[in-house]
């Protein structure tokens, strides 16, 4: 399938973050003082901030090229991360305008002499660390399937939604593989939903990243997560190949991911956000496609929007 749909305000891209928040996420990450929950919250916030930055133009307006959903699951429940709304998918401008809070963080920056110095900056926080209860992974993927199916029905001509699922353990509510397959079977005219699965662990060990065969994985659960993950489509392989070796059967899966891998995982997954974007004048909407797509199912490919001259 193509996976080459142009991303615009008329045909936005969709990203979904699905994060395990069970009690084991309170364990220390890779023998550090930071918990798994804390590290993942920071990684998701960094990814959201980067999506906002990619949609911010010279006039400082955030253009709605992306729609974003974020779910946390634990203690028998699946929670919408966005507060004060019943909407699961928010346009990126609404995400930018409504962080839970602003925190001050210290970063290292180079001074004119090339030496590193500390500098305090303000940083948005949308996603807070939570670690409580059991691991209702099946329920979380069912909710993800339902909200993604509804989004695709409204955006049949868009780049296929990308789902990031991060977990540290086995589910407590059944077998997640069937619903993962149902999720991956949802399609826009440009291709099927892409499901990234990332396993994180409190224990250090050999990472397995973007494998092409489940034989390389150590246990039954790791092999199941591998099968649940999408194969990397050819148009997306160059982004992965910048950091990892891949084959035609490599999948979007990481096992026992470390700090660098988690950051790269999100960076690679949001790389379609760097696809050609139609940037209209500040006071105009993007040009309509030659023929507006029907909301009824169709096997025909839509006419793409013309790129700016």
- Run means of pLDDT, 10 residues per run, the chain, 309 residues: 88 96 84 82 91 85 95 96 94 94 82 81 89 96 98 97 92 96 97 94 79 89 95 90 89 85 82 50 38 35 39
Helical (H) or strand (E) element with 209: strand 208-209
Q: Which helix (H) or strand (E) holds 222?
A: helix 220-228
Whole-prediction pTM: 0.84
Pairing of strands 90-91, 66-74: antiparallel
User: What is the pLDDT at residue 282?
Assistant: 41
For residue 240, the tally of other CB atoms under 10 A from its CB is: 20
Is there a contact between 15 and 159 (Cβ–Cβ < 8 Å)?
no
Average pLDDT taken over every residue of the chain: 84
Q: According to the model, what pLDDT value does residue 60 have?
A: 80
Q: How far apart are CA 234 and CA 247, in angstroms?
A: 10
The confidence score (pLDDT) of residue 1 equals: 58
């Amino acid at each position: 399938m193509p996976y080459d749909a142009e991303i615009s305000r008329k045909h936005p891209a969709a990203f979904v973050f699905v994060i395990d928040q069970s009690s084991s996420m309170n364990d220390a990450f890779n023998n550090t003082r930071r918990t798994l929950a804390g590290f993942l919250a920071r990684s998701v916030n960094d990814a959201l901030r980067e999506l906002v930055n990619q949609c911010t133009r010279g006039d400082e307006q955030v253009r709605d090229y992306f729609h974003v959903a974020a779910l946390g699951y634990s203690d028998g429940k699946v929670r919408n991360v966005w507060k004060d709304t019943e909407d699961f998918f928010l346009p990126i401008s609404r995400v930018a305008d409504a962080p839970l809070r602003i925190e001050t963080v210290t970063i290292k920056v180079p001074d004119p002499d090339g030496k590193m110095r500390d500098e305090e900056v303000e940083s948005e926080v949308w996603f807070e660390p939570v670690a409580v209860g059991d691991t209702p992974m099946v329920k979380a993927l069912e909710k993800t399937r339902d909200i993604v199916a509804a989004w695709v029905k409204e955006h049949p001509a868009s780049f296929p939604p990308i789902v990031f699922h991060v977990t540290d353990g086995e589910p407590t509510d059944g077998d997640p593989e069937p619903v993962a397959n149902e999720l991956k079977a949802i399609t826009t005219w440009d291709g099927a939903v892409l499901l990234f699965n990332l396993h994180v662990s409190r224990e250090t060990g050999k990472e397995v990243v973007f494998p092409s065969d489940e034989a390389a994985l150590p246990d039954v659960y790791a092999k199941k997560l591998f099968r649940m993950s999408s194969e990397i489509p050819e148009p997306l392989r160059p982004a992965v190949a910048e950091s990892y070796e891949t084959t035609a059967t490599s999948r979007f899966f990481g096992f026992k991911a470390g700090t660098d891998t988690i950051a790269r995982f999100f960076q690679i997954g949001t790389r379609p956000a760097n696809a050609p974007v139609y940037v209209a004048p500040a006071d105009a909407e993007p040009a309509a496609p030659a023929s507006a797509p029907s909301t009824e199912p169709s096997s025909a490919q839509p006419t793409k929007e013309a790129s700016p001259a």
